[in-house]
Structure 1
Amino acid sequence: MTLGALMLVEYLRKDMVAHGKIGLTMALYSTWNRGSSYPRDKVIGLLGIIEPRNSFKPEYSWTVEKVYRVAMRAAIAEDGNLNCLGLISEKKQSRNKNLASWVPDFELHSEPFRDYITSLSKVLNKWSIYKAFMIPGGSPDITTDEDDSVLILKGFCLDSVSVVGTQAPGPDFESVGETDPELWRSSTRDALNQWRSLLPPNDIYLTGETQAMAFWRTVLVDLNQGRLASKKGGRPKRLDKSDLQDLLQLETTDGMEGLLSTWESCLRPIYRQLRLIEQFNRRFFRTESGYMGLGPPDIQPGDAICLLLGGSVAYALRKSAHETWTYVGECYVHGIMDGEAAVKAVEDKSDFTEYRLV
């Protein structure tokens, strides 16, 4: 049994212990990298392993697009948060053009070992590493329109993207074999150096840290990468004070090469499933006000960086037609991931905006 299969069994076990049933999000993941004769069966086939739900009664007469979006709406409502958006990881050009931007194209994830969920919000876990705009003790107001084609969320725009860096390389998911480590290492080194060149000349970041400290915490998405907080639970570990003391070693050649070696060890297929590092295919960015972050490959200047009620991370959204928005992806934004900006917005009694995602 592969490491990924063992982890899935453990996740399913925890779901059963905690809730007495398999959650819909977990069920959706159970078919990840599994093929089906018909695209609808990636979702409808789940009815054989989960308890009936009034919120999820798909029919074969529905289009694939409707089956997928009803499943996604039901999963988001059941979870009571937006972590399920982390399932979306497909290349934009490969997606079904008729799917809403907030719905994963499950059909594309049908071959064993080809790809793995790459979310910052760790959608499969019942805890959140970050708490950018989570609701303590309650669920946010998450709704859809009448035919579930529009996801309606509330939140506010933190800032807009001003500068975007090159895309970091990822494992070669077109092949189940080994990624060329030398090529990957060289490309990643080039990406880090290009990102570093985008820092402003002033030395102090918005949090009061140096720009260099904030940069490396952003690159690492504030995680102690290559290690897990708990060997049993596989929970990623946030950087602590002792880690921060050593962080500026990454400004040296030896320090960066050591980091690249740690990441390189995660290229092997068996470790890709652990998702021990978070840089694969992401882009560094800066915002108009000076925030820095790590975002999805499709992020571009002008995109809005939003905090949405129920979201553990920040989200890049793009203005669309008729007062609607398209979902671009999850973002780490340094200095706001523990609710700092959300708390200030609440204290200032800021009006929240309705975002209609299509």
Structure 2
Amino acid sequence: MLQRPWFLRTWIIQEVALATHAVVLCGQHSASWDDFYRAVSYAIDLDYFSNTAPEMYSSLRSIEKARTDMAHGQTLRPLDMFTSFRIFLATDPRDKVFGVYSLFSESDLARVSLQPNYDMNVVEVFTRAALDCIVSEGCLDVLSFAGCGQEESPLPSWVPDWTYRERSQPLLPRFILGGLFNHQGCPASWPSASGNSFPVVDVSEDLKILSLSGCIFDRIVETGGVLEKGYYEHQPGHANLEIASLMKEGSDVLIKWEEMCGIPDGKPYFTGEAPREVYWRTLHAGCYPYGTEQLTREAWDKWYKPLQDSAELTRYSSDGWTKIEESQSGTLYKIAAGAHWMAVKMTFTMRKEREQSRMSGVSRTVIRTENGYVGLAMGHVEEHDHIALLKGGKVPVVIRPGNDGAWTLVSDAYVHGIMNGELSNSLEYEMLRFS
């Protein structure tokens, strides 16, 4: 039932959120919205949808949150609204913005300059919506949803395309902790890579060029490949299937990531942390989605073990088999290797109680910089892209030389060791132009 198009139409959001009594009708059957959502929520809690395309169930979560907020006199900020409903569809792309305006608070409506006006084209609507998010919030969080993931997009690179369905979470604690995995461990204020700075913003008259005060401080020299997760589009799937799909496709990527973080060498990171500490913290973008550092580390170790075993098996298959063939040691070693593979498989099969991963590394890539930093970014970043800090930006951004001396925004980024403003006071800032 959740696959029906109705659940992903933008205009149904306000219909449910603003209804005093909402009833779900399907053929001759009916149920109150509250009972219907309670059933879906129970399935989510059981991890019934772990390996299912998130659009199948997260749309209901977004609608329910809007409905609950409205009932309690609370509303999401415009950026949170655009983010929550990004997976929804609209025949007219402008409705991705205008379709949620009825849910804005009066104070936010007073701050935004854009009003529903279908004489404007899509580029102008999305551009003005991005500027409204910067002005109304006094920060650059909206840039984490922008970037040149779509090469032929008519939008400036700093303007989010709200019609683009991106499954990876932006690398902002605000969305990592308060979004898909809603828990009580969110701090009152988030750390910021740019310290306590405020954005310095200028925009050209034609709204194509955005100038921001920032500093280019490093360059990417290596990327580690993308850890892709397979989804079942039309049926629910157990959390173990997530492990299985990642084991099948991701072993080589995980080996590469561990090497980039220095795990095989064991050399401490420049912060003094052990490489494995840097590794798991980076893949979680420095956040604790299970509420505390200890709980997050324990959950990570439990979830990662079969993947690690698979990666070790891959190492053994590529290196060990060659050595066995060269040494002509007979079939005994091959039998032992086969037994090891079966043990790994049995260990994985016996791990019944498992939930889907809450790390931010899925659908992203690990990066290593010229100055020895490691971090996380979108999969379309490239070697020789630059990393910049922007005043008022909580996370670094990856940028690329563009046309006419302007930069192209490529991705947001997590860079381990600078996310609490460690570099913010030692950098020299200038106005950077983005097209």
- Report the equivalent of 1:206: 270
What SS does structure 1 have at the residue aligned with 2:163? helix
- Report the equivalent of 2:285: 221
Distance 1:223 1:40, change over 3 A: closer
2:356 pairs with one of 246, 266, 269: 266
> Which stretches of structure 1, 4 residues or more, deviate above 4 A after TM superposition?
11-18, 122-129, 199-202, 246-250, 252-255, 257-264
What SS does structure 1 have at the residue aligned with 2:126? helix
2:259 pairs with one of 197, 210, 214: 197
- Report the equivalent of 2:46: none
What SS does structure 1 have at the residue aligned with 2:277? helix
Amino acid at match of 2:193: A
What SS does structure 2 have at the residue aligned with 1:340? coil
What SS does structure 2 have at the residue aligned with 1:85? helix
Measure, in 2, the Cα distance between the counterparts of 1:291 and 1:263: 35
Distance 1:129 1:310, change over 3 A: same
Aligned pair count reads 321
Aligned-residue CA RMSD (Å): 3.7
Measure, in 2, the Cα distance between the counterparts of 1:171 and 1:255: 15
2:248 pairs with one of 170, 186, 198: 186
**Does the CA contact (< 8 Å) of 1:130 and 1:337 recur in 2?**
yes
Shift of 1:341: 1.3
- Report the equivalent of 2:164: 108
- Report the equivalent of 1:69: 127
Q: Which stretch has the larger CA shift, 289-298 or 20-29?
A: 20-29
Measure, in 1, the Cα distance between the counterparts of 2:375 and 2:90: 37
Cα deviation digits, residues 138-174 of structure 1 (max 9, x gap): x42233222322222112122110111111113438x
Distance 1:15 1:85, change over 3 A: farther
- Report the equivalent of 1:155: 214
Shift of 1:37: 2.5
What SS does structure 2 have at the residue aligned with 1:197? helix
Distance 1:254 1:298, change over 3 A: closer
Structure of larger gyration radius: 2
Amino acid at match of 2:194: F
**Does the CA contact (< 8 Å) of 1:163 and 1:286 recur in 2?**
yes
Measure, in 1, the Cα distance between the counterparts of 2:279 and 2:305: 16
**Does the CA contact (< 8 Å) of 1:89 and 1:117 recur in 2?**
no
Measure, in 2, the Cα distance between the counterparts of 1:34 and 1:249: 34
**Does the CA contact (< 8 Å) of 1:166 and 1:284 recur in 2?**
yes
What SS does structure 2 have at the residue aligned with 1:25? helix
Distance 1:121 1:16, change over 3 A: farther
Shift of 1:286: 0.7
Measure, in 1, the Cα distance between the counterparts of 2:168 and 2:300: 30
- Report the equivalent of 1:131: 192
Shift of 1:178: 5.0
Measure, in 1, the Cα distance between the counterparts of 2:135 and 2:404: 25
Amino acid at match of 1:352: Y
Measure, in 2, the Cα distance between the counterparts of 1:299 and 1:119: 15
Gaps of 5+ in 2: 1-36, 42-57, 179-185, 312-347
Measure, in 1, the Cα distance between the counterparts of 2:274 and 2:204: 45
Amino acid at match of 1:121: L
Measure, in 2, the Cα distance between the counterparts of 1:128 and 1:255: 34
- Report the equivalent of 1:81: 139
Which structure carries more helix by proportion?
2
Amino acid at match of 2:170: S
Amino acid at match of 1:341: L
- Report the equivalent of 1:35: 89
**Does the CA contact (< 8 Å) of 1:171 and 1:280 recur in 2?**
no
Amino acid at match of 1:105: D
Distance 1:288 1:140, change over 3 A: same
Give the TM-score, by structure 2 length: 0.63
Distance 1:207 1:165, change over 3 A: same
Amino acid at match of 2:135: A
Distance 1:63 1:88, change over 3 A: same
What SS does structure 2 have at the residue aligned with 1:33? coil
Whether 2:366 is the aligned partner of 1:284: answer: yes
